[in-house]
Amino acid sequence: MQISSRFTIAIHIFACMETFGKDYKITSDFLASSINVNPVIIRKLLSQLKSAGLIEVARGTGGAAPVRPIDEITFYDVYLAVDLLGEGELFHFHENPNPNCPVGKNIHMALDDKLARIQEAMENEMKKYTIADVVSDIKRCLECPQ
């Protein structure tokens, strides 16, 4: 199990918007240069973040910006926008366990509740952190001697 890089890229996008938004237009090309990925990936994520109501994107060279203060945007908000599997499930269960096997027949009963509790714990932890926490840590790193 692994959360895709879309999540960390989306957090990076928000950090760039907050750090550079007053001085630069935050475009997909600008973001791609910081994140070091193809701008197509950035445009897809920007679209997802916009659909989730987390950012606004001006067409053309207008740039992107958060729609609410970054201390109100949690990791959970970003996760829901860019990385959740269908049906809201973190874990993708293998499709067809063998019903004739004693393990295959009972695997869902043995795992489903545990996986649901693990997902709930992770989501509750994600709700504790905001984009502002990341930006604050980046600023603190910039102030430290290298």
CATH, residue 37? 1.10.10.10
Task: Give whole-number Cα distances, 64 to 20, 41, 42, 57, 94, in Å.
Answer: 11, 15, 11, 4, 38
Helix (H) or strand (E) holding 55: strand 55-58
The total of other beta-carbon atoms located within 10 Å of residue 68's CB is 11
Does 96 or 124 have the greater pLDDT score? 124
Look at the chain and report how many structural domains it folds into.
1
Position 102 confidence tier, pLDDT thresholds 50, 70, 90: very high
- Reported as a pLDDT band with limits 50, 70 and 90, residue 1 is very low
pLDDT digits (tens, 9 = 90+) for 15-56: 999 999 999 999 999 999 999 999 999 999 999 999 999 999
pLDDT at 117: 94
| Domain range for 137 | 5-143
Compute the mean pLDDT over every residue in the chain, rounded to the nearest whole number: 90
pTM: 0.86
- Comparing CA positions, the residue from 63, 87, 80 lying closest to residue 7 is 80
Report which secondary-structure segment, H or E, holds 48.
helix 39-51
**Given pLDDT bands bounded at 50, 70 and 90, which one contains residue 143?**
confident
- Whether residue 146 has pLDDT greater than 80: no
